[in-house]
């Protein structure tokens, strides 16, 4: 097996060589001063990382403008971009219209100049878990790089691409979005050979108007695909399963035996995961995913599809799925003082909450406690979506519901209306944090889940340090 690359932070990039001339060509920029022949072997958006051979790209943020640090970057020996008309008497400066767009332009240039096999991943739920699984599989046979952390936007995707070191053979690139046009832009930068769309849920419905709108936005991934490209989709999803004839190849995965790749003979192993048989055109083989829940079978099947596409053996694919190392705070299960804690508080959506609640059905603990917070970016759908989740809490057999947040109160209302008597509500995360020690007890299975902005990691951390 080829040793996979360890994912790196965006500001610690060590990339292949570009020249100042390359940067000018990629950005349609103008050399203000300096030398066109200088080599660039690192790109950063943090002026503190500036040094000889580094390109500093100053970005405008909410709290600071990177342009204010150009002189310090030049003093450190870095090459810089700039939108400003300032005059410089030393160093190498390239003027561009928009530094943020220039970041993407350079990444596109770099991907074309140094092409590698690549798969792009998007979806409403499960993008990061799918990324982890796909990476683990492909790394069985290729020197592979993947999106670090949550670098999945118009800044993160370029930094991911620059992270491809010399010798990289494959890249797994996660793409997120909350508006139309974003996936299109990111796909144009990354130029993937194939792509995976995991599902169509309700995330970002506030901006996209409907699930149909979300579907259209996700399908931007394939708008530049030709007969040389392949799109892998969840065939059981009502939107993705409806994709008709295309110029590119579509491969469907799921539970139904009408899919091109599907799972059968599923054995639930509780919170330790699931075993199942993968059926595809070349035969079938046994597979194990060490993450609980039906949704993770879908994520694993996506990784299987990628592995088959990349020509890996059944043994390599099986090992990659089984031995995957997952990004933290995504269905992270720990034991503490007789409690089973499911930390899934990195992000949230109605679909992912229901999936996490279903996972709790596999526990052998005495009491199932769901600690749920607001799901953000739901717009006009917020009240109904949260209320419906409350009904699901009751239907899925949760013993105690604890909520915190303005919209989470509707989860509580939905659960009560459905028939759940054991409901506790708080206005804020901080209030819940200080009270949680009096709520949970040894023998509980506890789910902690909310949108990232609710900072529910504080709740998970508090529970994991309790002395009961």
Lowest pLDDT segment from 153-162, 341-350, 421-430: 341-350
pTM here is 0.83
Per cent of the chain over pLDDT 70 is 96
Cβ neighbors of 101 (< 8 A, separation 6 or more) are: none
Per cent of the chain over pLDDT 90 is 77
Write down the residue that tokens 């194990």 correspond to.
288
Domain ranges for the chain: 17-102, 114-322, 332-463
The pLDDT value given to residue 12: 47
If residue 122 lies in a helix (H) or strand (E), which one and from where to where?
strand 117-122
Alpha-carbon gap, residue 421 to 415, rounded angstroms: 8
User: Strand 423-426 to strand 400-404: parallel, antiparallel, or no bridges (unpaired)?
Assistant: parallel
The pLDDT value given to residue 326: 87
Query: Closest by alpha carbon to 158, among 283, 32, 43, 261?
Result: 43
DSSP 8-state secondary structure symbol assigned to residue 329: T
For 229, the token pair is 């490209």
- The model's confidence at residue 363, banded by pLDDT at 50, 70 and 90, is confident
Yes or no: domain 114-322 corresponds to CATH 3.40.1190.10: yes
**Going along 48-112, which residue ranges are E strands?**
54-56, 79-82, 92-95
Alpha-carbon gap, residue 281 to 10, rounded angstroms: 39
The pLDDT value given to residue 328: 66
Alpha-carbon gap, residue 214 to 203, rounded angstroms: 8
Mean of pLDDT values over 291-313: 95
Instruction: Answer whether residue 239 shows pLDDT above 70.
Output: yes
The backbone torsions φ and ψ at residue 420, rounded to the nearest 5 degrees and listed phi first, read: -85, 125
Tens digit of each residue's pLDDT (9 = 90 or more) over 253-293: 999 999 999 999 999 888 889 999 999 999 999 999 998 88
Tens digit of each residue's pLDDT (9 = 90 or more) over 36-74: 999 999 999 999 999 999 999 999 988 899 999 999 999
Mean of pLDDT values over 392-405: 96
Span 17-102: which CATH code? 3.40.1390.10
For 302, the token pair is 């996506």
Classify burial at 329, counting beta carbons within 10 Å of its beta carbon; exposed 0-12, middle 13-18, buried 19 or more: middle
The pLDDT value given to residue 329: 59
**Going along 180-255, which residue ranges are E strands?**
194-197, 230-234, 249-254
Span 332-463: which CATH code? 3.90.190.20
């Amino acid at each position: 097996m080829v040793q996979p690359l360890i994912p790196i932070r965006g500001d610690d990039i060590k990339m292949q060589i570009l020249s100042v001339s390359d940067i000018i060509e990629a950005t349609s920029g103008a050399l203000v001063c300096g030398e066109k022949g200088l080599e660039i072997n690192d790109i950063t958006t943090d002026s503190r990382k500036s040094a000889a051979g580094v390109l500093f790209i100053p970005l405008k943020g909410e709290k600071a403008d990177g342009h204010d640090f150009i002189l310090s970057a030049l003093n450190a020996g870095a090459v810089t971009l700039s939108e400003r008309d300032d005059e410089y008497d030393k160093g190498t400066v390239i003027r561009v219209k928009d530094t943020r767009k220039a970041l993407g332009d350079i990444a596109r240039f770099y991907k074309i100049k140094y092409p590698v096999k690549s798969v792009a991943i998007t979806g409403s739920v499960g993008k990061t878990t799918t990324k982890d699984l796909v990476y683990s599989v492909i790394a069985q046979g290729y020197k592979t790089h993947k999106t670090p952390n949550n670098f999945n936007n118009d800044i993160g995707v370029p930094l991911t691409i620059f992270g491809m070191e010399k010798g990289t053979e494959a890249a797994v690139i996660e793409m997120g979005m909350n508006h139309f046009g974003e996936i299109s832009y990111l796909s144009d930068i990354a130029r993937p050979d194939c792509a995976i769309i995991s599902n169509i849920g309700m995330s970002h419905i506030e901006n996209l108007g409907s699930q149909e709108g979300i579907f259209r936005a996700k399908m931007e991934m394939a708008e530049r695909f030709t007969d040389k490209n392949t799109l892998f989709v969840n065939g059981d999803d009502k939107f993705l399963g409806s994709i008709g004839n295309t110029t590119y190849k579509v491969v469907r995965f799921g539970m139904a035996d009408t899919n091109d790749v599907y799972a059968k003979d599923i054995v639930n192993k509780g919170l330790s995961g699931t075993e199942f048989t993968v059926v595809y055109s070349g035969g079938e083989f046994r597979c194990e995913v060490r993450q609980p829940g039906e949704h993770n079978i879908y994520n694993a099947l996506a990784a299987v599809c990628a592995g088959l596409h990349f020509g890996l053996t059944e043994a390599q694919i099986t090992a990659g799925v089984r031995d995957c190392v997952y990004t933290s705070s995504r269905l992270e299960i720990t034991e503490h003082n007789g409690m089973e804690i499911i930390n899934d508080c990195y992000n949230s959506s109605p679909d992912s909450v229901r999936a996490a609640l279903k996972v709790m059905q596999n526990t052998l603990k005495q009491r199932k406690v769901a600690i749920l917070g607001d799901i953000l970016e739901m717009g006009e759908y917020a009240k109904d979506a949260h209320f419906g989740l409350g009904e699901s809490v009751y239907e899925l057999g949760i013993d105690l519901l604890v909520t915190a947040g303005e919209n989470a109160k509707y989860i509580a209302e939905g659960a009560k209306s459905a028939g759940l008597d054991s409901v506790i509500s708080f206005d804020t995360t901080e209030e819940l944090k200080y009270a949680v020690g009096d709520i949970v007890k040894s023998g509980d299975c506890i789910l902690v889940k909310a949108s990232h902005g609710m900072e529910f990691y504080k709740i998970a951390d508090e529970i994991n340090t309790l002395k009961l």
